[in-house]
């Protein structure tokens, strides 16, 4: 149902797509080669260090409490971000449409009136003394009256903007086609 070119682009966008007659599943993949994953792991290790270090170096109660509180906050946020990356996605199976976005899971019965739409946005990050980074963010959402419910978001380097749009359009087509069955 999904051609190999789209699957290759999806792999590059850290997405896993499974689409057949019985189900459609689109999920984020956790890739250790990704810079953002390394950043999350850096904050996780920093939080653990802030929890342990005050007991090794200081005897001051305020430093211990402050280190534990800040460390636990960093560890909790890092773990929640990793869980979010593992669990965000869309699943259509057995006449139900379920999606998880930002740790919130929603399940709806399939309806022919449902329609998924896509929006793209180019984001430019400028840094002093460097060229900066441009990337494209593709957002899929369920349009409900005047309400947009975000289902899936992925980003790619702006060099691959055309491929990102192609992948986004194919994901939209696959999901909308499943709604019509």
Summarised one tens digit per residue, pLDDT across range 56-89 is 876 788 888 998 999 999 999 999 988 888 888 9
d(CA 107, CA 95): 11
CB-based contact 88:67 (threshold 8 Å) = no
Tokens for 82, please give them: 């990793």
Domain count, the chain: 2
Question: Are residues 163 and 125 part of one domain?
Answer: yes
pLDDT at 147: 78
pTM given for the model: 0.80
| Residue 146 pLDDT greater than 80, yes or no | no
Indicate whether 156 belongs to any domain: yes
Question: Are residues 135 and 66 part of one domain?
Answer: no
Question: Are residues 116 and 175 part of one domain?
Answer: yes
Indicate whether 54 belongs to any domain: yes
Indicate whether 18 belongs to any domain: no
Indicate whether 31 belongs to any domain: no
pLDDT at 145: 67
| Residue 180 pLDDT greater than 80, yes or no | no
Q: Which SS3 state, helix, strand or coil, does residue 55 take? A: helix
DSSP code at position 175: H
- Which has the higher per-residue pLDDT, 14 or 180? 14
Residue 4: HSE in the Cβ half-sphere, 13 Å Cα cutoff: 0
Question: Are residues 124 and 50 part of one domain?
Answer: no
pLDDT, tens only, 111-137: 777 888 999 999 888 777 677 778 899
| Residue 181 pLDDT greater than 70, yes or no | no
Q: Which domain holds residue 52?
A: 36-82
Tokens for 171, please give them: 């994901």
């Amino acid at each position: 149902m999904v051609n190999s070119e789209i699957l290759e682009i999806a792999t590059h966008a850290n997405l896993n797509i499974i689409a057949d007659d019985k189900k459609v599943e689109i999920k984020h993949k956790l890739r250790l080669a990704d810079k953002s994953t390394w950043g999350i792991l850096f904050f996780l290790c920093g939080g653990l260090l802030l929890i342990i270090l005050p007991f090794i170096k200081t005897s001051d109660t305020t430093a211990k409490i402050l280190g534990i509180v800040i460390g636990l906050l960093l560890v909790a946020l890092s773990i929640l971000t990793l869980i979010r990356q593992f669990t965000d996605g869309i699943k259509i199976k057995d006449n139900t449409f379920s999606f998880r976005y930002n740790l919130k899971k929603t399940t709806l019965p399939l309806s022919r009136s449902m329609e998924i739409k896509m929006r793209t946005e180019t984001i430019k990050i400028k840094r002093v003394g460097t060229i900066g980074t441009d990337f494209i963010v593709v957002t899929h959402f369920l349009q409900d009256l005047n309400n947009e419910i975000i289902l899936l978001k992925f980003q790619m380097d702006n060099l691959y903007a055309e491929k990102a749009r192609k992948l986004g359009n194919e994901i939209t087509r696959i999901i909308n086609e499943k709604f019509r069955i």
